[in-house]
Structure 1
């Protein structure tokens, strides 16, 4: 049962859509998008704070010695489990450039701490290939399975950093769910009945950082 939480997330990609209708894990997140001085994307730095109920289940799963704490080795195992399990979900990270999806490389490590009865995860991801900051880019964090709800409480929780963004405009986009449904009613209905597990329509509802260079 130790791996049930993260394996369940991975297996949900095979489940029918009705089982994915609402989230079971809640995350408050921060995203920092870093550039170099020459106008290239360096990496996206994530900070995730998980809700107390999910964190409690993680404690039960990974606390090998039963001391109701997560020591250095247990935290490292949790981080590696997350790094492996989330690979198929691209670490919930979305980068697009002029509408084209940019592939994400696997992070070297996911650092995890356990503070105030909550799991916190820290990690950075990079595009698989060098990416020039030009055109219209979006940076978002969402779970395509709908099992995890990722929230950015403040607009300042999504920030571009570095001189490469000096000539760019940016804004935080928080889609209105009712408007998204109204504008995509036909395609959402078709997606539900034709291929409920492979449409990735969740991205329409995700909060994102939009950058125009």
Structure 2
């Protein structure tokens, strides 16, 4: 697996120890839908990621086996399978808290990949690994713990809830101010944090999230 494939999973820093992970090299616009089911629990989280043209071009170069300057269906499928396997240890960039408790997600059935207008798009759904009733304070976000990939939600509408039961709860999008985060956590945000290529949970402090209160 070469550098482009590792970069596809936000893991290129493992091959380049001199590369600082404190700033992103891949940029993606994201959409996240939090879906409730008929039992009054979180059913699934639906993701759409659209990557920047530079990174998308590098993926085309890596996976375009027939050299036709695009990605055919079998090549798109290989991209999706690569990401499906590579992001499992990173919880698919998903961060969930239920009343302060961190919740993991299950492996998606698949990751659908498309390539249009020189940009790579990925679509998939994950489910909480344990039951999540709509009770108390719930928090949902998408971020890369290595900070190699910047996941951006262009508008608050790109973080939303779907389903009659969850729509009845209060919900708001939170966009942390980096300066405030640094000031409030100056004792814990050390040099080791900024130079640790394996990532740290502290990066979630900077991530945009949606909070749901039921």
- State the partner residue of 2:4: 5
* Alignment CA distance shift 1:13-1:172 (3 Å): farther
* Alignment CA distance shift 1:196-1:119 (3 Å): closer
The CA deviation string for residues 48-71 of structure 1, in whole angstroms up to 9 with x for no partner, is 000000000000000000011111
* Alignment CA distance shift 1:121-1:195 (3 Å): closer
- Give the whole-Å Cα distance in 1 for the aligned partners of 2:58 and 2:196: 32
- Give the whole-Å Cα distance in 2 for the aligned partners of 1:203 and 1:40: 24
Q: SS of the counterpart of 1:90?
A: helix
Q: How well do the aligned residues superpose, as a CA RMSD in angstroms? A: 2.1
Q: SS of the counterpart of 2:11?
A: helix
121-130 or 44-53: which moved more?
121-130
Q: How many residues align?
A: 212
Unpaired segments ≥5 residues, structure 1: none
56-65 or 29-38: which moved more?
29-38
Give the conservation status (yes or no) of the 8 Å contact 2:26–2:150: yes
- State the partner residue of 2:150: 149
CA drift of 1:166 comes to: 3.7
CA drift of 1:101 comes to: 0.6
* Alignment CA distance shift 1:7-1:194 (3 Å): closer
TM-score (normalizing by structure 2)? 0.92
- Give the whole-Å Cα distance in 1 for the aligned partners of 2:79 and 2:5: 10
* Alignment CA distance shift 1:158-1:172 (3 Å): same
- Give the whole-Å Cα distance in 2 for the aligned partners of 1:203 and 1:147: 13
Larger % of helix: which? 1
